[in-house]
Each structure stands twice: as structure tokens, then as C-alpha cells.
Amino acid sequence: MTWTTFSQQPRASELLYHSLRNDRLAHAYLFTGPKGAGKKQMALHLAKSLFCSEKEADACGACLTCRRIESGNHPDVLLLSPDGASIKIDQIRALQKEMAMRAVESHHKVYIIEHVDKMTTQAANSLLKFLEEPPAGVLAVLLTEHSHAILPTILSRCQIVPFSPLSAEAITKKLCESGVLPGMAQVASHITTNVEEALVLSQSESFAQLRNLVIQLVHECKQRNSSALFTIHDMMHKSDKIKEELPLFLDLLILWLRDILYVQVGRHAHLIHSDQQDVLQGQALIWTKAELLRGIDLVMETKYRIERNANAQLALERLVLHIQEG
């Protein structure tokens, strides 16, 4: 892995690479952005690039030093995570003591703090003092998804590096590299911007079952009989987890209806369910554009109602009936 690997975060990778190359690293960075955007991976790569003897201002990823940092076994690189629900002052004190010691293998020491927004007040104040008077050669990399929850005084002492959510295309590629089928990878990448969550989702049996249920329900809604209502009834009573899965089910329903619309207007390149084109083509013949647009609005309304604690089964039955009335 090199800096060019982080193509989805070009601004962050270019900033850090040029800072390393010109020997102009700040003493503290705050990586802020959504979960799954690659903040921890880039923090580790920054540490590797600082220590790697094989490449200048970059990391080879294969030498002993890089591999030790990756595995968490380098004496001069410390990764700190919340102890339970928060980062406590004892953790920061131990960190300060460790960073005050002479570096073992170079002139540098690096500490990476995950979820820095979860520090207790005492821990945050202790870290602030450490940031104000950092030991020579010590580099801090703080990671957060919620920069608004961090003390302004800490923010002011860090160079802030924003991370953008990964694109659906990038997530699909990563999932396929992990062995996920392209069709399922593409759908999962439009549900979440977190690669890890998308991987778990796309590999779960319930995810595939929910998608099949969506396809079945959309077909039954056009039959003008009670089969769609029976499907809703069975869905609500066969699974103990269905209430937790309803937001995902409704998101999948919206994506499916939108894909039918894309087929009708000839935008096949934009299809999310690219592995189901034959089924989409068949359903595109029995839905009108107006019905699809109204159906998407009704699904969004149903999702809102359920989020506001409406009876889930009644809300879904209402959705089906309103679609059929259309």
C-alpha cells in the first residue's frame, strides 16, 4: 500500500505525502470523517511512512518495520482506543509517560487515538496540555467521526484533515475483492458508506432474503389481489428480527422501484441491481412511471411513519393498499 492507494481521499493523502516529503509534518493531526472512510488505515500508513527505510516519504508495506506497525508490535507506535465507553484519564497519563521516553528505533514516536471524541473531560484536559507542549519527535494522530464533540482548544492545536465518504463504486470494488458477488456488492454499497458494514451486510443470508422479498412484493402489488398483504403478514410473523430489519427492507424497496424506473427511461448503466435486469425488465412492463414515482414517495412516507413508532404491520399494509389504489 502506498499513498496512491488512497485514491478515494486524494486531498488527505496528498497533504500528508507532501508534508512528509518536505519535512513539514505538524505535531498533531485530526482525521475527521464518517466511519469506514479509511482514517485509521491512513493514520497507520502515515506512521509506516515515517519509519519505513525502503521508501522516502512513503511506506513499502512489506518490510519488517511496516509489518510490525500494521500488527501493532512497533515500540514507537502506540494505538489508543476507548476503554469501554470512553477514553479515561489513566489512559492519557500512560500515553504521556510512554511518549516521554526516548524512541527505541528512531527519532520519532507516534500515537494514534481512535474515537477521540469519547474522552472524558479529565482525559481531554490532560491531552490538551500534552498537545500544548509535545515532546520533540512525537506525532499525534487523532481520529473521530464527530469533530463537533471535541474541545475547541484541542481542535485549535491540530491540523484538521477531512475525510469524505467512500463512493459506491469504491465500496463495490472493495467488496468484490473480498469475494462478494458483484450484484450483492453493488446493492450493499448503496445502503451504507461503511465498507465493513457493507461487507457484513452483503454476506448475510437475511440481506439476500430481504431483497428477494422486495422483488416478490413489487410483483404482487400489481396483481390486484390479497397476495401482497399475505406476504406482509408472513414477513412480520416469521422473523424475530424483522422489526430491526424494516428500515433496510424499505431502503431496498426504494432502490428496486428506482431501478424499474431506470429501465423504463433507458438508463441501464445506472442500475443498482445489475444482476436482475431480466426481472426488472419484466416488471417495467407492468408499472407506469407515475405509479413508480408515487410508490417511492409512499415508501419514504411509510419509513417516516415507522420511525415515529407507528404500528409496523399496519403501516406496511397501508403502503400496499395505497400502491394498489394508484
pTM for the model: 0.74
Start-end ranges of CATH 1.20.272.10 in the chain?
A: 204-325
pLDDT for res 235:
87
What torsion, rounded to 10 degrees, do the Cα atoms 90, 93, 94, 97 define? -160
Q: Which of 254, 247, 258 is nearest to 280 (CA)?
A: 258
Start-end ranges of CATH 3.40.50.300 in the chain?
A: 3-165
Instruction: Classify burial at 293, counting beta carbons within 10 Å of its beta carbon; exposed 0-12, middle 13-18, buried 19 or more.
Output: middle
pLDDT in tens, the chain (326 residues): 678 778 789 999 999 999 999 999 999 999 999 888 889 999 999 999 999 988 888 999 999 999 999 999 999 999 999 999 999 999 999 999 999 888 887 889 999 999 999 999 999 999 999 999 888 899 999 999 999 999 999 999 999 999 998 889 989 998 999 999 999 999 999 999 888 899 999 988 889 999 999 999 999 998 878 899 999 998 888 877 888 899 999 999 999 999 999 999 999 999 999 899 999 999 999 999 999 999 999 999 999 999 998 899 999 999 999 998 86
Q: Which of 207, 195, 275, 282 is nearest to 239 (CA)?
A: 207
CATH of domain 3-165: 3.40.50.300
Enter the C-alpha cell of residue 124.
481531554
Q: Which of 92, 40, 94 is nearest to 70 (CA)?
A: 40
Per CATH, which fold does 204-325 belong to? Zinc Finger, Delta Prime; domain 3 (1.20.272)
Cβ 42 vs Cβ 2: under 8 Å: no
pLDDT for res 11:
92
Cβ 124 vs Cβ 89: under 8 Å: no
Q: Which long-range contacts (CB under 8 A, 24 or more apart) does 221-228 make?
A: 221/295, 221/320, 221/323, 221/324, 222/283, 222/286, 222/287, 224/324, 228/320, 228/324
pLDDT for res 196:
85
